[in-house]
Structure 1
Amino acid sequence: MSSRRDYYRDPNAPKANSLEPGGSALVVDEAGRVLMQRRGDSGNWSLPGGIMELGETLEECVVRETREETGLDIEITGLLGIYTDPGHVIEYSDGEVRQEFAVIYNGRVVGGEIQVSHESTEVRFLTLDELEGLPVHPTVRLRLQHHRDGSNLPWLG
């Protein structure tokens, strides 16, 4: 796996040279806790998700990535938002600098058991209050805030 570095509204960030459609799942359990994984590459807590592959829809991508990264099977229940901030770029060790393009779906668990993947060091459900004191990228905090706000309209930005 290539290493990555996130830049968020940083004037010294490298210029983006790619754009890949990706998605994540904001999955909530019966207690209102959010499914999170601790990324192996950055140490930050993040929502499960990834980049779309040829031959699949973005919803299928998010279901697949969530299964691969957490061991849980989910179903999509709605749309939290579409996040395309050009001020968020991710630099990879292979020279790719990707502009953010993420669709975040709401979801719920329908099967499976939590397990850690090769991309993460920990997977668990956490309350929004627990996440306040943990390392979380500002863009993920924004998504969590939109979830907390409880709007019925998806975020577009």
Structure 2
Amino acid sequence: MGYIEELREIVGHRPLIFVGSVTVIVDEMGRLLLQQRKFPKGAWGLAGGLMELGESTEEVARREVYEETGLKLDELHLINVYSGPENFIKAENGDEFYVVTVAYFSEGDEGELNIDKAESIKVEFFYPDELPSNMVKSHKVILDEFLSKHYRDDKKKVDNGYFTNGGQ
């Protein structure tokens, strides 16, 4: 049993604050990796999850990406930290929580895509102008910021890969 499950046994469904990480992964063609999640049902989002005791946010990002996609990440670059009432979640089981989300991006990875069937329906790469409409709201905010500040849509390898120097 993990930290969150142990904590839930004590506090029940009352609102809690958790820290998590998500990662925008960009392939060599400039496409973004999304996972179609089981919760919220069928919504598309970024690979990520919640921190366990003793982890850094970078470790959370790497662990969750590996668990959910089978990919091992190279260098991580910070996009931003997101918090506040817009990051409130009520799970299907009644658990309530606010998430402080640390968002990263990475253009380098290794491994074969391997879907975690417990959490995901599928994973797929999308060009930025072809993103699905049914996205997790908080992840759409993160992707919008990433695309406006870090992504180069000319698909040319310049500066820091597909990213502007602002991503370093």
**Structure 1 length as normaliser, TM-score?**
0.80
Corresponding residue of 1:92: 91
Which segments of 5 or more consecutive residues in structure 1 lack a partner in the other structure? 1-15
Percent identity, aligned pairs only, is 33
Q: Which has the higher strand share?
A: 1
What CA distance in whole angstroms lies between the structure 1 residues aligned with 2:31 and 2:66? 18
Distance in structure 2 (CA, Å) of the matches to 1:88 and 1:54: 21
Task: Kindly provide the amino acid, as one letter, of the partner of residue 137 in structure 1.
Answer: V
Q: 1:39 maps to what in 2? A: 37
- CA deviation map 1:84-118 (0-9, x unaligned): 02133111244321113100011133311112112
Aligned position for 1:29? 27
1-structure distance, mates of 2:65, 2:105: 12
Of Structure 1 and Structure 2, the greater helix share is in: 2
Query: Can you list the C-alpha shifts for 1:100-145, whole angstroms capped at 9, x where unaligned?
Result: 31000111333111121120011111111111x4311222211111
Amino acid at match of 1:96: D
Question: Quick one: distance in 1 between partners of 2:68 and 2:99?
Answer: 20
Judge conservation of contact 1:39–1:119 (CA < 8 Å) in 2. yes
Note the alpha carbon deviations across 1:50-75, whole angstroms, 9 max, x for none.
01111221101110100000111112
Contact 1:89 1:98 in 2 (8 A): yes
User: In structure 2, do the counterparts of structure 1 residues 87 and 130 end up closer, same or farther at CA, with 3 Å as the change threshold?
Assistant: same
| C-alpha contact 1:71 1:114 (8 A) present in aligned 2 | yes
Larger radius of gyration: 2
Task: Write the distance in 1 (CA, Å) between the matches of 2:129 and 2:98.
Answer: 29
Which ranges in structure 2 are unaligned for 5 or more consecutive residues? 1-13, 151-165
State the 4+ residue runs in structure 1 displaced beyond 6 angstroms. Answer: none
- Rounded Cα–Cα distance in structure 1 between residues aligned with 2:122 and 2:53: 29
The yes-or-no answer on 1:126 pairing with 2:126 is: yes
Aligned to 2:112: 113
**Among candidates 17, 20, 40, match of residue 19 of structure 1:** 17
Aligned length: 138
CA contact (8 A) 2:21 2:61 kept: yes
Q: Which has the higher contact order (CA 8 A, sep 6+)?
A: 1
1:38 touches 1:121 (CA, 8 Å); kept in 2? yes
TM normalised by structure 2 equals 0.75
